[in-house]
Structure 1
Amino acid sequence: MKKAKKALLGTALAGALVVSAGFGTYSWFTDVKTANSEIDNGTLTLGMDTQLFTHEKFAPSQVLVSDFKKIENTGSLDQILRASYTHSVDKASAKKYKVAYLAIKYAERPDETVLKGMATEYEKGFKKGVDNPVMPSGKSKQAVGYEVEGGLVSADEASAMKMQAANQEKTFKFGKDGFWKLKDNQSIEIMFFVKLLDSAGNEYQGAQYNGEFKVEAKQTDEGADFGPAANTEVSPTTAE
């Protein structure tokens, strides 16, 4: 009898252990979700023609006219440009050279006849001493789809620039800040007009004129600066 009770008690305990062990294998309901992310950095790059112009046998009263040179936002970010033109003469002062420019900004390039027409009119005015920029007659920039900026670096502005005594080098800054801002699909085409004034004397015979047009680009974000000089430059311009 006692053996039977012990056997039953043992069986009951064994059952309890089984139930307890079975209960311990259950868990709370759970779920897991995973979210992934990517950041693709933009690019800030410029494309530009690297030769402005060359010329020989230049003389007083003559005007040298460059082709249009394209400055293109080849990156994916909007950018602010800082452009400058520096010129010098090897054996005389650069002050006898008069320099003007005509620049056109667009997303879709205007017709070639429009560009040539503006360039021709500006050249005529420059030869006559007219310094005002040429704008499309009777049309707003919204209507024509492009903006135009141009003009002459005035004598007052030139005299205010730092001049290096060794080679009479002067650096001229360009235009309005708003114009020199390129969206990721925009370009600027610019041409230069250089005139040796009639008052240039014999000291200019055989002289060599050198010019350099440099463009730097930076982000439009607040606090961004130009930092080290950009590597987008043109080869020196030479006129003899």
Structure 2
Amino acid sequence: MKVAKKALLGTALAGAMVVSAGFGTYSWFTDVKTANGTIDNGSLTLGMDTELFAHKNFAPSQMFVSEFKKIENTGSLDQILRASYTHSVDKASVKKYKVGYLAVKYAERPDGAVLKDIAMAYQKGFDKGVTNPVLPMGSAKSANSYEVEGGVLSEEQASAMKAQAANHEKTIHFGEGKFWKLKDNQNIEIMFFVKLLDSAGNEYQGAHYDAEFKVEAKQTDNGAEFGPEAGTEPTAE
């Protein structure tokens, strides 16, 4: 009997070993898929020459015409611009200075002769006291299409700009509408006309005129607002 039990026990253990070995040889069909994603942020940067203009020995009845200054969208995103001009005189009132601007927006720069003609046409209107001179416009059908905007910056506007900046409020825009929106391939060239009126008296002898032209850029998306922290922090007067 003992021999038979041992034989049966040995047979059972052998069967268990066979079953265990059988479980180890099974395999299953499997498959794995992975997906990866990346996001590259765009850039919103602005390029501009920081020297606006410089001139000496200015006198009543004279008009100074600056060179064109380029405002470049050097980033990869479209931009909305906020531009302002403030000026001051150390010895007298700034009221005797008349200031105008002419801006040309383009993707491909117009010929230099075209820009010169536009500037001369505006200069004549500005010098004659025309506040909204008729300006030639680029053809939308032309490969060298461009837009033109010009205007006279009154002393009241300049004073309001400075007062609002001191109060951290919105700056007055140079222009309205789509002109002051730059696509990633567009530039604006702007020039200034400064005239010291004939009525400026001896108190203006040796006077120093300071001007600041500031341009800020933001995203075109809704809700991307200009705030008091944007750009250079204004100084209290």
Q: Distance in 2 between matches of 1:56 and 1:16?
A: 108
Per-residue deviation at 1:58? 0.8
Tell me the residue number matched to 2:230: 229
Task: Provide Cα deviations, 1:90-120, integer angstroms capped at 9, x if missing partner.
Answer: 0111011100000001111111111011011
Q: Tell me which residue corresponds to 2:102.
A: 102
- The answer to whether the Cα contact below 8 Å between 2:79 and 2:183 also exists between their aligned partners in 1 is yes
Letter in 2 for 1:96: K
CA 1:77 to 1:28, structure 2 compared with 1: closer, same or farther past 3 Å? same
Please give the alpha-carbon distance, in whole angstroms, between the structure 1 residues aligned to 2:57 and 2:5: 129
The alpha-carbon deviation at position 37 of structure 1 amounts to: 1.0
Which residue in 2 is equivalent to 1:49? 49
User: Residue 130 and residue 64 in structure 1: after superposition, are their counterparts in 2 closer, same or farther (change >3 A)?
Assistant: same
* TM-score, normalisation: structure 1: 0.83
**Partner in structure 2 of residue 112 of structure 1:** 112
Query: Cα RMSD (Å) of the superposition?
Result: 2.5
For 1:79 and 1:26, the matched residues in 2 are separated by 63
Runs of 4+ aligned residues of structure 1 deviating over 3 Å after TM superposition are 1-6, 139-144, 154-164
Q: Does 1:124 pair with 2:124? A: yes
Task: Measure, in 1, the Cα distance between the counterparts of 2:161 and 2:185.
Answer: 33
Judged with a 3 Å threshold, the aligned counterparts in structure 2 of structure 1 residues 172 and 24 are, in CA distance, closer, same or farther, namely: closer
Contact 1:118 1:134 in 2 (8 A): no
In structure 2, runs of 5+ residues without a counterpart are: 165-170, 233-237
Gaps of 5+ in 1: 165-170, 232-240
Contact map agreement 1:102 1:133 (CA 8 A) in 2 = no
Q: Name the residue aligned to 1:92.
A: 92
> What secondary structure sits across from 1:55 in the alignment?
coil
SS of aligned partner of 2:179: coil
Distance in 1 (CA, whole Å) between partners of 2:31 and 2:84 is 62
Q: Under a length normalisation based on structure 2, what TM-score does the superposition of the two structures give?
A: 0.84
3-state SS of 2:178 partner: coil
Q: Distance in 2 between matches of 1:9 and 1:160?
A: 106
State how 1:1-240 maps to structure 2 within 5 Å. Answer: 3=3, 6-7=6-7, 10-23=10-23, 25-136=25-136, 140-143=139-142, 145-154=145-154, 157=157, 173-227=173-227, 228-230=229-231
Query: Is 2:68–2:191's contact at 8 Å kept on the other side of the alignment?
Result: yes
Deviation at 1:191? 0.2
CA distance in 1, matches of 2:158, 2:47: 28
Taking every aligned residue pair, what percent have the same amino acid on both sides? 77
CA distance in 2, matches of 1:109, 1:49: 17
